Structure 1
């Protein structure tokens, strides 16, 4: 992979060592067509993982970063959805659960336009893809134009966003909804405890959790929660993955919608490059921004909250998802100021690591090691770092950047870390941790966010 040597390298020895370590993770986890998040715990291709991975890969090989996104989009459904997993057909079903025989996408998803040639899941993950495509393009515009990268991806990305803004606008209020806790990406967040309490879990003897083969039970969701996840997914499959049917779990998530806004702005840049109408996407981003503030901003907590659409109430849990709208460039300045106060306040400020916990440090459900119930994640930290820069808070962004790089190296590119100690949790040599480390090392801090 010559591009590893051909691209400029940092001058500091420590940064160079960290860069080489991150590159080694991405090279090791490359399958020939895409990058797995982890060779052990996550052996297929995941949707938002691949978007983050492409953002880092652009510093090693622009061509490989393009292929990462192209491979994922090969699994896109005719209705526009990008599934959260595209399965590797060479692996046995037992390598991961839920496996292709659970999702049955090519059969159960036929009416929704699931592809025949690839087996996928039937649910989605946050829409980071247009942002990733735009950043990959900017890394080498000549190569991008030569391969007509944006020209080929634009119709697929536009269809993806159209799906989210139409079929997934379940409340008719203008925001995209998620219909399973796996969709917002923060699977086991306490934000979902109240909506999930309505769900009868699947019987334990009806599924086998492959995640416990490679992950410590103390780090993973409980069997009770996992049973509820399985029940919801099976119901969605039985309905033919039809979004028009009633959903027992339906939530408007602030992180998911903030990423949709930023990706709409990226799609406006892409549209301008390919001769489409950028104004359409800019207008959508403006509408989404206004609606996000109107429906999910909570002044009392200084945070965006998820809205449960079953009872139409905000969920009173403080999650890192509520800080991610810092990414949105046209967020009202008083909201930006309040968000930064919350970021640096007692709920999310950790003096020991300077990383951002996934859940309120003082919250009733805080757990420093269990999946999304407290641990600090590198992708959410990267998003917040980028958001701080988008609003001119470079000094604060520099502190977070330094904490990310130090902790990523010390933890062997862990999946996530204990926010109070920095100790690595989950799997090691995790691809998006390595990719976003590489991006922070190599990207120009003065590069415009979009």
Structure 2
């Protein structure tokens, strides 16, 4: 399949999922605007229309809270029955810090936003400058990163904590299993599962897992999303989340420099996050782990989250991470895209959400990391597989990492956007 064919098919998906001001992740399963999805989508959109990519980010920032947080979801009030928990669950309009003109979730997602804003600017700097794109977004991004450093440094380590598996973006990853044992499975909210209308139950978290997810969401909402609940049972420092924070701090430094503003404090914060991340590295595991803030323990599970610090420039553990990436637990297993979880683990499941399948955004980020390390051949091979598998299977949510068999919903927007990016002529960027 040629790059032009991949790009054409991806463009059809992105057009179909466009909703006037933003792109939904998938028309059926995910009918609202998701935070980190929009950033990945905007990266792909910038190759089609930097103006539309800018609109994507503007729509997302319209839901920003006064405390600086960028919410996980901005709800479409006409589709509230199609996703749970929805706007009626969160009742964000009753909270002082929430925006008045948008209904949102209280949770957040990984902070890839400044990285995306900088990539959108780079796609067409003249258009970006004409529209004051960076001037408009820089203060919003600063407020967002300040929220992370001031409200989410719950372990006083310099790393941001996630308060729910959903915030990590890797919902049912094995990284959260032990911590989730502390969470009750008796939630008050009726457990409706509209997601099962669009994906097989064997590809989604279980009913018991969803009950625990809802219990945590109820607890966080009932404490007005204040981030200070002393008895809250789930606080985790995730290497993926914090890698994207550090990477986005570097992007903020680039943005500040472009605007003629001081950039050193962004560089310093990025370096502090990276230094703190080093505490999560387990040499014998060959990658980074998540840390349970409540007891200080590291979770010795080899996941894609633990490989993504490869994105960070000058990572002293890059050689070990590459060995793990190319070894039998990941690409050395015969994989065509990077498994989300150790392929040699007894509980690896190549069809079950974040417990084995390969996700297009994760493999795309690994390709970006390989580029940064000078492995152009490896990055190109991975991008070729991303584009081919995406376009061949109607842009699935995720795939079996070895066979490429499609799972989850189809016509998934970040799959289309990143396939478009993977198929593009990188020499023109």
Write the distance in 2 (CA, Å) between the matches of 1:55 and 1:17: 19
- Deviation, structure 1 residue 204: 8.2
Does 2:1 match 1:16? Answer: no
SS in 2 for 1:323: helix
Write the distance in 1 (CA, Å) between the matches of 2:86 and 2:182: 25
- Pairing of 1:405-424 with structure 2 (within 5 A): 405-424=387-406
1:248 corresponds to: 233
Match for residue 438 of structure 1 among 401, 420, 425: 420
Write the distance in 2 (CA, Å) between the matches of 1:330 and 1:179: 29
Match for residue 273 of structure 2 among 281, 288, 297: 288
Deviations 1:193-217, CA, capped at 9 Å, x for gaps = 1100111113487221111121110
Deviations 1:34-78, CA, capped at 9 Å, x for gaps = 000000000000000000000000011111000000000000001
1:220 corresponds to: 204
Match for residue 185 of structure 1 among 153, 160, 169: 169
SS in 2 for 1:19: helix
SS in 2 for 1:90: helix
Please say if residues 121 and 134 of structure 2, whose CA atoms lie closer than 8 Å, have aligned partners that are also in contact. Answer: yes
Write the distance in 2 (CA, Å) between the matches of 1:244 and 1:204: 22
Please say if residues 189 and 214 of structure 2, whose CA atoms lie closer than 8 Å, have aligned partners that are also in contact. Answer: no
Does 2:353 match 1:368? Answer: no
- Deviation, structure 1 residue 85: 0.2
2:93 corresponds to: 106
SS in 2 for 1:307: strand
Flag the 1:306–1:351 CA change in 2: closer, same or farther, 3 A. Answer: closer
- Deviation, structure 1 residue 420: 2.3
Match for residue 173 of structure 1 among 157, 167, 190: 157
SS in 2 for 1:165: helix
Listed as ranges, the gaps of 5+ residues in structure 1 are: 1-12
Flag the 1:85–1:365 CA change in 2: closer, same or farther, 3 A. Answer: same
2:261 corresponds to: 276
Deviations 1:77-107, CA, capped at 9 Å, x for gaps = 011100000011232x211100101011111
1:399 corresponds to: 381
Write the distance in 2 (CA, Å) between the matches of 1:446 and 1:283: 31
Please say if residues 135 and 259 of structure 2, whose CA atoms lie closer than 8 Å, have aligned partners that are also in contact. Answer: yes
- Pairing of 1:192-341 with structure 2 (within 5 A): 192-203=176-187, 206-246=190-230, 247-293=232-278, 295-332=279-316, 335-341=317-323
Match for residue 38 of structure 2 among 42, 50, 56: 50
Write the distance in 2 (CA, Å) between the matches of 1:422 and 1:261: 31
TM-score (norm 1): 0.93
Write the distance in 2 (CA, Å) between the matches of 1:245 and 1:275: 40
Flag the 1:352–1:338 CA change in 2: closer, same or farther, 3 A. Answer: closer
Write the distance in 1 (CA, Å) between the matches of 2:362 and 2:76: 27
Listed as ranges, the gaps of 5+ residues in structure 2 are: none
- The number of aligned residues is 428
Write the distance in 2 (CA, Å) between the matches of 1:204 and 1:337: 48
Write the distance in 2 (CA, Å) between the matches of 1:89 and 1:407: 34
Write the distance in 1 (CA, Å) between the matches of 2:427 and 2:186: 48
Write the distance in 1 (CA, Å) between the matches of 2:222 and 2:333: 48
Match for residue 63 of structure 1 among 51, 56, 71: 51
- Pairing of 1:145-156 with structure 2 (within 5 A): 145-156=129-140
Write the distance in 1 (CA, Å) between the matches of 2:223 and 2:344: 40
SS in 1 for 2:40: helix
TM-score (norm 2): 0.97
> Over aligned residue pairs, what C-alpha RMSD do you find?
1.3
Deviations 1:283-331, CA, capped at 9 Å, x for gaps = 11111111111x2111011100000111110011111000111110121
Write the distance in 1 (CA, Å) between the matches of 2:322 and 2:427: 19
